[in-house]
Amino acid sequence: MSCSSKETHTVVVELDLVVHRRRVVAEGVVELTLRRQDGAALPSWEAGAHIDLVLGPDLVRQYSLCGDPADRCSWRIAVLREHGSRGGSAAVHGELAEGSQVGVRGPRNHFRFEPSRRYVLIAGGIGITPIMAMAAAADDRGADWSLTYGGRTRASMAYASDLRDRYGARVDLRPQDEFGLLDLDSLLGEPAGDTLVYCCGPEPLLEAVEKRCAGWPRGALHVERFSPKEFDAQASDHPFEVVLARSGRTVMVSSGQSILSAVREAGVQVLSSCEEGTCGTCETTVLAGEVDHRDSLLSEEERAAGETMMVCVSRAACAKLTLDL
């Protein structure tokens, strides 16, 4: 997953948008088209971007933009009603009708669609939302691309027939009740040159794709997660210092405490949302020190570069970190 943005927590625009249109696009999936009240242009975005919906004081959720980036007056998202959700999908399904107002932050992009001659796109369930924008971008670029799209049943797969109608044989629809699990060995068995793989979907699919792509060139695979990756429970949580470069103050982060909470205790505000390393809201620029990355967003290259970190979960791999806070 790419995250080359140097956006920091200090520049946050929250827009008051209106649900211009609401429609059901699959079983349990509702699509919202959001606009400004006055119809003015929205910030630009590219395939892979997401927005935060501010659904309550402590309820902020991320949804991928799945419409057309050329449409500057509206943003489109699709939201699955999830049983056992922490409130985000229930709030969207239950409370956001046409005409409702909602606070929106973003867009941000931690899943950038890099240039390439060929793409293998893989989506599972509601993971189609960022992948759909990528299919359109790949087609616009004249790239050679394919999309394999799995879901529980055909009726549960949002935009399935639209995609098939628009792109024909490039799109392979694989409802599980008709075809079983995706045949990843055929799809990813042999590493292919000049090819990038983009995948979004449930964790078992991402893990299976990561396993199949282990022999692919470094940087070929890009995934986006809905839930955090598991990290070694034995990983060291030693205490360390954080220097806040803007004020010159030093904050102590104890073992078991996050940088986010230590910094907040010191009275410095840092925006956050998921607080589990999946959304990128708390991304902070690292000015000095070595990071123990524990997020589910940054690529291996970005981790190695050490220029940025998610302060809600990641820690120091040294005695002192200096952050642009």
Total site size for ligand FES, rule CB under 6 A: 13
Does 109 bind ligand FES (CB under 6 A)? Our answer is no
Does 316 bind ligand FES (CB under 6 A)? Our answer is no
State the Cα–Cα distance between residues 121 and 302, nearest whole angstrom: 22
- Contacting residue, 64, 281, 284, 308, with ligand FES by CB under 6 A: 281
Which residues touch 8 (CB under 8 Å, ≥6 apart)? 283, 284, 285, 324
Does 280 bind ligand FES (CB under 6 A)? Our answer is yes
Q: Tokens at residue 225, please?
A: 């997660």
Q: Tokens at residue 74, please?
A: 């509206």
Closer of 20 and 61 to ligand FES (Cβ): 61
| Cβ–Cβ < 8 Å for 297, 311 | no
Output the DSSP codes for 150-178.
EESSGGGSTTHHHHHHHHGGGEEEEEHHH
Q: How far is the CB of 108 from ligand FES (least distance, A)?
A: 10
Closer of 55 and 312 to ligand FES (Cβ): 312
Output the DSSP codes for 70-106.
T-TTEEEEEEE--TT--SHHHHHHHH--TT-EEEEEE
Does 106 bind ligand FES (CB under 6 A)? Our answer is no
The site string for ligand FES over 235-274 (x = CB under 6 A, - otherwise) reads -------------------------------------xxx
Closer of 21 and 86 to ligand FES (Cβ): 86
Does 77 bind ligand FES (CB under 6 A)? Our answer is no
Q: How far is the CB of 30 from ligand FES (least distance, A)?
A: 24
- Contacting residue, 17, 188, 262, 310, with ligand FES by CB under 6 A: 310
Cis omega (within 30 of 0) for bond into 107 = yes
State the Cα–Cα distance between residues 139 and 136, nearest whole angstrom: 5
Closer of 60 and 133 to ligand FES (Cβ): 60
State the Cα–Cα distance between residues 34 and 76, nearest whole angstrom: 6
Q: Which residues bind ligand FES (CB under 6 A)?
A: 272-275, 277-282, 295, 310, 312
